[in-house]
Amino acid sequence: MSEVNELVKSRLNALEEIKKLGINPYPHRFDVTVNSADAVSGFKDPADEAEAEEQKKNMVAVAGRIMAIRKMGKASFCHIKDDMGRIQIYIRQNDVGEENYKLFKLLDIGDIIGVNGFVFRTKMGEVSIHANSVTLLTKTIQPLPVVKEEVTESGEKIVHDAFADVELRYRQRYIDLIVNEGVKETFVKRTKIIQSIKRTLENYNFFEVETPTLQSIYGGANAKPFVTHHNALNLPLYLRISNELYLKRLVVGGFNRVYEFVRDFRNEGIDRTHNPEFTQVEWYQAYGDYFDSMNLFEEVVEQACISVNGSTKAEYQGVEIDFKRPWKRLKMTDAISETCGIDVLNMSKADIIKFMKDKGIEFDPKISHSKGLVISALFEAACEDSLVQPTFVMDHPIDSTPLCKPLREYSMQQLEEMKNDPEQVIFVERFEPYINKWELGNSYTELNDPVLQRSLLEQQVERGRGGEEETHPLDEDFLRAIEIGMPPTTGVGLGVDRLVMLLTNSATIRDVLFFPLMRPQ
């Protein structure tokens, strides 16, 4: 710490010296005419001396942060980094003048400068800027971690003094982006993935909308909300856990194809694939079903992979994943049969629970009142780890969601009979896409029967009163919208953060969030 304090003191002294020169160390603007990448790629070696002299007249202006500096007598070098890369700057006192060179000698790694000059190639073969003037744009006070690279005789690259402390990188992402190559590229790819998803949806005439983040009644998912309070209205409010119910209201209102990228908030745990604040995209298509959503989901993800990796394949933590369509489609009960060797449809709830206990599979005893929820718990515990390549797990128990249509193969009479038999499980037209053992999204053939919708939501309320924590509250306005009439509709939610993790080979969700939630220091 004392070493850092001495460096800060030295920089503050340099700042005072710069001010004594009559120079404003924090000017208002600088006219940039070219970035580092274009300066390098656009340079052509002159054919002769006459052409070389002519090139010196082509003045450019670049700006960036000093990342390396080599101060010598009357000629020095530095490397600056801008948003497109790095470029070397050659500064000679005879060209910039004594006062300007004196300024340069007071600069440090991390300072931001503007340079006017011409592009040339040094004797060492590096395309550089020969400076005619240097302008200080920002004098920094805190020193940057200086990352040094050494290349051994065998060609191995050794990094010294890397800014590698994971927690510090997340807390000080601004430094992480400056000094660690590759971090910025992850976030550039994130934006390209989002842009690709939007292009694919808009190619199918989906319309982007916005819905409320603050909601008086939360819903659309089974999750714990964050609670806040609006003082003027004296009203409790919730940060949204999902935008589903609002997007369905828009379908009722006549927007047949809508999508929204949202920040959702769930007051739950933090781990490698979960953050309390996360991004997802949801889209809804009137007059379609979950087969339409499967087809579009795999196209959306395939195109996103191509947009950032140039092919349908991506490597994640040493495993190659192929996103090429079509993906495998597997019923939940068939997945259990393949993994566990049992047929849950012909087993009683008690037998399934016994099987799980015999195998040491833990589950929440609060769900044991429902055979469907027990089946879902068995699938999650026993089957998810086998789902590495893209797979749609279809046809879930109705107990898992109150917002989805039962399978179309059931007759109305069958549904009535099955509702009264606790050993009969009604399955719904729901799928979850799994990749790398992760659930990447959720989709339904949406329930638009207002009578059944009300009944299922009321059942969730009763389950909540019985102690089940993650259930839907009753949203009367949403029920009113369904009673007004929603056409046959299918909807999808896709976890953007997890998709970005997969397509950028990022080990944790915190690597794909600029500013993940951290415990206060």
* Alpha carbons 203 and 333: distance in angstroms, whole number: 35
CA quadruple 509, 490, 211, 401: dihedral sign: negative
pLDDT at site 108: 96
pLDDT digits (tens, 9 = 90+) for 145-197: 876 666 666 666 665 556 888 999 999 999 999 999 899 999 999 999 999 99
162 in helix, strand or coil? coil
Which residue ranges of the chain lie beneath pLDDT 70? 1-3, 147-162, 463-472
* Alpha carbons 35 and 477: distance in angstroms, whole number: 54
438: nearest Cα among 494, 387, 402:
387
Pairing of strands 319-322, 313-316: antiparallel
* Alpha carbons 145 and 4: distance in angstroms, whole number: 10
* Backbone torsions φ then ψ of 331, nearest 5 degrees: -70, 150
Expressed in angstroms, the distance from the first to the final Cα of the chain is: 17
Q: Enter the pTM of the model.
A: 0.91
CA quadruple 420, 423, 424, 429: dihedral sign: positive
pLDDT digits (tens, 9 = 90+) for 69-100: 999 999 999 999 999 999 999 999 999 999 99
pLDDT at site 181: 86
* Alpha carbons 281 and 495: distance in angstroms, whole number: 7
pLDDT at site 154: 67
* Percentages of the chain per state (helix, strand, coil), in multiples of 5: 40, 25, 35
Residue 478's region, left for phi above 0, alpha for psi from -120 to 50, else beta, is: alpha
Please state, rounded to an integer, the average pLDDT across all residues of the chain: 93
Residue 226 contacts residue 199 (beta carbons within 8 Å): no
141: nearest Cα among 182, 104, 112:
112
Please confirm whether the linkage preceding 326 is cis (ω < 30° from 0).
yes
Full DSSP string of 471-513:
-PPP-HHHHHHHHHH--SEEEEEEEHHHHHHHHHT-SSGGGGS
pLDDT at site 402: 83
- Please provide the size of the chain in residues: 521
pLDDT at site 150: 60
Q: What angle do CA 294, 506, 516 make, to 5 degrees?
A: 100
Residue 314 contacts residue 296 (beta carbons within 8 Å): no
pLDDT at site 409: 96
Residue 335 contacts residue 375 (beta carbons within 8 Å): no
pLDDT at site 160: 55
75 in helix, strand or coil? strand
Residue 452 contacts residue 479 (beta carbons within 8 Å): no
Instruction: Record the tokens describing residue 493, joined without a space.
Output: 């939610």
